[in-house]
Amino acid sequence: MAKIDFGGVKEDVITSEEFTIEKAREVLKNETIAILGYGVQGPAQALNLRDNGFSPIIGQMEGDAYWEKAISDGFVPGKTLFPIEEAAKKGTIIQELLSDAGQVATWPAVKKCLSEGDALYFSHGFSIVYKEQTGVIPPQNIDVILVAPKGSGTNVRRNFIDGSGINSSYAVFQDYTGRAAERTIALGIAIGSGYLFPTTFENEVYSDLTGERGVLMGCLAGVMEAQYNLLRKHGHSPSEAFNETVEELTQSLIRLVAENGMDWMFANCSTTAQRGALDWAPRFRDAVAPLFDNLYESVKTGKETKRVLEANSAPDYLVKLRKELDEIKNSEMWKAGAAVRSLRPENRK
């Protein structure tokens, strides 16, 4: 492990230079990796594993759209693609990449398929940490491990293809074999992580749920909408409001932050922008701090997971979800966004 200074706090990280893909192959050479779920993380992790020289098998509901997607990606029914229970029986490492609600629904069946010494792998701490709600309580004679990429499945795959990898956290919840940590790190490297940093199942799920509802998605979407609506209220055109709210952020400024940090982005903007940002950032921080306190408490106490499980398990969930997403898609703000994107040079060819 390498000790890296994160703002004055030194943390251990593991890179692919320290724990090579060749070492990962050696550690996992006698394992059968079964990936349950070919929806969000499943395709990315499966394809990255395959491209790195492993031979994962897929467990998916036979005949559904995700089953067909697996076939289109080169997995073969009866050879590398199986119904969920059959794949779980074949695996020595069972990667639980079904949705959180899907894990709850299939857990009784999956649990029966686990054998002594198997590893049960998660990319999210949800099912284990909130076991009172999910009922996911693993047997004592297996390893229970986690590798959580810090990005969507789409970016796990994109970053692998472009050679950058995506950072992942890792944790061991239960070490029955004495090999749990080695298995975990090997899998983290095998799925193409840029680097790995240690966490716990609890910390992973608390930070992940907070981040999704906060800066990464919920807060970002809400703040964008508020600024767009404000500009429109004051007579700015949809094009101007969208460009000043979203396009400049995603196509310019956030890339500068990614390259060298927020201070570097500020330093590479106009002095007028610098001054305004430096003056207003603390005011936004202080305004939303109480909301983030409420959010974290809601995550930690299980209120958020209760909401997720109830909503996602409803028989009409997908219909309601489509309606919610269509409301966003059909709003003036995101119709303006579609028009702006269509005018990008690469989309005019």
Instruction: Give catalytic residue positions.
Output: 124
Q: Which residues contact residue 35 at a Cβ distance below 8 angstroms, ignoring those fewer than 6 apart?
A: 42, 45, 46, 49, 56, 57, 58, 59, 87, 95, 97
Rounded Cα–Cα distance for residues 97 and 119 (Å): 14
3-state secondary structure of 146: strand
Q: Which residues contact residue 62 at a Cβ distance below 8 angstroms, ignoring those fewer than 6 apart?
A: 77, 83
Both structure tokens of 149: 């990429």
Q: Give the pairing of strands 57-59 and 81-82.
A: parallel
Rounded Cα–Cα distance for residues 40 and 74 (Å): 17
Please give the C-alpha separations between residue 230 and each of 18, 265, 286, 288, 340, in angstroms, as whole numbers.
50, 25, 21, 18, 19
Both structure tokens of 282: 């603390």
3-state secondary structure of 79: coil
Task: Please give the angle made by the CA atoms of 181, 158 and 123, to the nearest 5 degrees.
Answer: 30
Cβ distance 24 to 191 under 8 Å?
no
For 136, list phi and psi in degrees, rounded to 5: -85, 95
